[in-house]
Amino acid sequence: METISMIGATIVTLALISYSVGVIAEQKQKRIIKTVLIFITLGIVLDVTATICMIVGSSNTPFTLHGFLGYSALVAMLIDVILIWKFYNKNGSGADVPRSLHLYTLIAYLWWVIAYITGSALVMIK
């Protein structure tokens, strides 16, 4: 495995940890608190960085089945981060998250975890 790909794999694992902390906090609190904002924002930055590293370090075309799964999961999380920030800026940290945003956050996160697991499985198979 290329060094840049290994760096990307490490960074994407940090993104998993960051997303997990943020999403679990949101799911438990049902509010957008500073912890949620910090960790989901950090997660998206780490995820984009990891994706770039893995594209640069891969000898494959970026347009693979796993690539599309990963890109769609990244987009889903990016949309979630934008929606969460919009909600926070409009309502502050005391307001309850609408059920639709609460559910979208969970679905986007689970989709992202599936992409993470399939990527890890592909690396283990090689």
49-82 residue pLDDT tens: 999 998 898 777 767 788 899 999 999 999 999 9
State the SS3 of the chain: CCHHHHHHHHHHHHHHHHHHHHHHHHHHHCECCHHHHHHHHHHHHHHHHHHHHHHHHCCCCCCCHHHHHHHHHHHHHHHHHHHHHHHHHHHCCCCECCHHHHHHHHHHHHHHHHHHHHHHHHHHHC
Residues in the chain with pLDDT values less than 50? none
Domains held by the chain: number: 1
Q: What is the pLDDT of residue 48?
A: 97
Domain that holds residue 111: 3-125
Q: What is the pLDDT of residue 95?
A: 84
Q: What is the pLDDT of residue 63?
A: 78
Q: What is the pLDDT of residue 14?
A: 98
